[in-house]
Structure 1
Amino acid sequence: MRWHPKGYGGQRRDLDQVKRDGWHDEGVLAVSVDDHRLTWPERELVRQLGDRLYGQRPDCGEAANG
């Protein structure tokens, strides 16, 4: 007896694999501003891009950035 619909079984991909596939297949980049693999200038660039494209995050004020 199956407990899941056909096609919905098996292993889930981990989050990094989903992000990797999105980048390779669709050209979509999903990156956290807090990713420990990035240097400070890289994290700052990500933050600035996010602010420019989507507006400033509600939990980040100007005082916190300076």
Structure 2
Amino acid sequence: MRWHPKGYGGQRRDPDEVKREGWREQGVLAVSADDVRLTWPERELVRQLGERLYGKREREARHG
């Protein structure tokens, strides 16, 4: 039997589960601009919000 402190080792949680919990408990939204579950206008909105808050992504800045 192996013992791990809480949050270390053991089984990893699904990333979508972590995102869902962050939204429901703290109002923090983590979404990929390339998430296929979103429509094009929704992905574009995510991209625009990201650029407004954090600047252009590195790969976009090089080509722009």
Q: Which category of TM-score, normalised to the shorter sequence, fits these structures?
A: 0.7 to 0.9
**Bigger share in helix:** 2
2: CA distance between counterparts of 1:54 and 1:11?
32
TM-score with structure 1 length normalisation? 0.79
Deviations 1:9-66 (A, max 9, x none): 65322000000000000000000000000000000000000000000111014x66xx
Q: Tell me how many residue pairs correspond in the alignment.
A: 63
Runs (5+) with no aligned partner, structure 2: none
Would you identify which runs of 4 or more consecutive aligned residues in structure 1 move more than 6 Å? Answer: none
1:36-47 matched pairs, under 5 angstroms: 36-47=36-47
Query: % of aligned pairs identical?
Result: 68
